[in-house]
Structure 1
Amino acid sequence: MKRFVIAAALVAVGVTTAFAGPIEDRQALMKGIAKATKDASAYAKGEAPFDAAKVKVLLQVYVDGAAKLPTLFPDDSKTGGGTDPTTASPKIWEDMAGFKTHAAKLSADATSAMAATDQASFAKAFGVIASNCNSCHGDYRVKKD
C-alpha cells in the first residue's frame, strides 16, 4: 500500500508539472538555477568550505538547465498575463539563435568548471558562469520595477 501511495504521488506531481506550461516551467527552472547560484557563490567566495562533489552537483544544475531552457520559449509564451507575468524579453524570440548560444556557453562553462579542484580555481570558473548569467539577463530579460 505504501508503494502505491508513493507511486500515485509521483504520478500526480508529474502530471501537475506536465500541465504547468512553459512560463511556469521556465520560472521554476530559473528558481532552481538561482538557488544553485546562491550556494555556488558561497563556495566561490570561501564562505563555505570547498567541496568538489557538492560543487559538481550545483554545476550540473546549470548544465541541465541550459539544455532545457531554450525549449521553454515557444511562440505562444511571449506574454505572461495573470499575477505572475513573464520577464522574458521579446528579444528571445527575435534572436533565438543568440539565446541558444548563451545557453550553450553556460553549459560549456559549467562543464569546464567541474574540473575545479579548490576554492581558488572554482572562484575563477564561477566568475565566468556569473558573467554569462548577467550577460544573458541583460540581453534577454525585462527588468522588474
Structure 2
Amino acid sequence: MEDFSKLIVSFQSFIPFANSLRGMSAAQWNLPLQPGKWSASGIIGHIMLWDRHFMTDAIEPIASGVPLRLKHSDYDTFNAQAAAYAATVTQEQLIDATVAQRQQLIDLLQSLSITQRETTYLDLDGNPFTIHAYLIDFIDHDRHHRLQIAHFLLN
C-alpha cells in the first residue's frame, strides 16, 4: 500500500501543472483537444468540480465525524455541468479556483487523523469509500487528463 504522504505529494503535483496552463493562449485554452473532446478549460473545470464534490460530500463529513453525503453521480450530467461552468469564467479565474480548491482539499486531507484516513466508510449507496482508494483513483484521473493536455500542446 502506498504511503499517505507520497500520495499527497502526487495529488499536490496537479497544482503546478494547473499553474503552468496560465501560459496557454485563449485559442489553445478553449479549443477541443481532439474533435468531439473537451478543451483544456473543460478539463480543468471538470477536475475542480470533482475536487469540490469529494471535499463537500466525503472529506468534510469524515473530518466532522458525520456520515458521508457521497452517492453515485450521473457522470455525464456532472461532467456537462463542469464544462458549462468552465465556459462562464476566465482562464485565470478557473485556474485560480482550481488551485485553491485542490489546496483546500489537500489541507483538509492532511488534517485528518491516521484513524480517519485508514477507516473504510460507506457512501449513501452502501459502497465502501477509503481515503487511500480515493487518492489512487484521482491521481490516476489527474494523470490521464494531464497527458491529454500535454499531448495537445506538443502537437
Q: Which band: TM-score by shorter chain? A: 0.3 to 0.5
Which is greater in Rg?
Answer: 1
Return the structure number with greater relative CO, CA threshold 8 A, min gap 6.
2
TM-score (norm 1): 0.36
